[in-house]
């Protein structure tokens, strides 16, 4: 599979490396291909390429949006909305505001009744967005080791085939998937990042993940 990553921060680089390890072709999209982190990533990931957002989006059969939430819409516009048409897009973003956390709780620029994912879907009406990878640290996104316990990744989106594709990727990456339905569920999934970050902000604990228990 060909994958285009929009964003060369730690999340984008980790997911790009993971997809390469699983035998996929990858272009890491970045505003600056000469950036030190991008050059280092290329040197450590044989076969991985870097390019512009537009080049990554055009290349990918799968696109992963891995920018900061505050610049996600701008990144989509730079990548060219037409390049997303008919494609599965994994949306990893969270609507984290520029204002500082309050007692360890992140502040969001969205309201309880409108998620960032819904806004991005409006920008990309012919793309198949699936929310995933937004509620765990980058160091645990691929093959997380919790002594035999498989962590849960919560996803949502309007296209069933796209969610099946993302579920398959998550399984390969070492996750179980809990599909929470249509895009409106992102209003609940995105705030999981707030909950996930509190132990980190208060106690410098950044290695945990969520697990849904069923009976």
* Whole-number pLDDT of residue 188: 98
Assign 198 a pLDDT band (cuts: 50, 70, 90): very high
Tokens 């290349």 appear where? 59
| Reported pTM | 0.97
CA angle 156, 159, 163 (to 5 degrees): 55
With left for phi above 0 and alpha for psi between -120 and 50, is residue 97 left, alpha or beta? beta
Q: Taking Cα atoms as reference points, which of 127, 128, 120 lies closest to residue 165?
A: 128
Q: CA 90 to CA 69: how far, in whole Å?
A: 13
Assign 117 a pLDDT band (cuts: 50, 70, 90): very high
pLDDT tens, 162-197?
999 999 999 999 999 999 999 999 999 999 999 999
* Whole-number pLDDT of residue 47: 94
* Whole-number pLDDT of residue 101: 97
Helices 36-44 and 10-21 meet at what angle, rounded to 10?
Answer: 10
* Whole-number pLDDT of residue 11: 98
pLDDT tens, 130-169?
999 999 999 999 999 999 999 999 999 999 999 999 999 9
Assign 129 a pLDDT band (cuts: 50, 70, 90): very high
* Whole-number pLDDT of residue 164: 98
Domains and their CATH numbers in the chain: 2-203 (3.40.50.720)
């Amino acid at each position: 599979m060909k994958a285009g990553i929009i964003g060369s921060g730690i999340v984008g680089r980790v997911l790009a490396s993971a997809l390469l390890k699983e035998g996929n072709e990858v272009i890491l999209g970045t505003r600056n291909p000469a950036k030190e982190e991008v050059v280092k990533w290329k040197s450590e990931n044989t076969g991985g390429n870097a390019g512009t957002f537009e080049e990554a989006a055009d290349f990918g059969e799968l696109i992963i949006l891995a920018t900061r939430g505050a610049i996600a819409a701008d990144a989509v516009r730079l990548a060219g909305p037409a390049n997303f048409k008919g494609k599965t897009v994994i949306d990893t973003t969270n609507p984290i505001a520029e204002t500082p956390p309050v007692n360890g709780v992140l502040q969001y620029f969205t309201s309880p009744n409108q998620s960032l994912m819904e806004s991005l879907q409006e920008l990309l009406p012919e793309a198949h967005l699936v929310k995933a990878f937004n509620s765990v640290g980058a160091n645990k996104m691929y093959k997380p080791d919790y002594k035999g316990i498989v962590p849960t990744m919560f996803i949502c989106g309007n296209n069933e085939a796209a969610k099946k594709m993302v579920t398959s990727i998550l399984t390969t990456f070492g996750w179980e998937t809990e599909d929470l339905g249509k895009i409106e569920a992102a209003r609940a999934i995105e705030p999981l990042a707030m909950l996930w970050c509190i132990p980190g902000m208060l106690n410098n604990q950044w290695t945990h993940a969520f697990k849904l228990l069923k009976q």
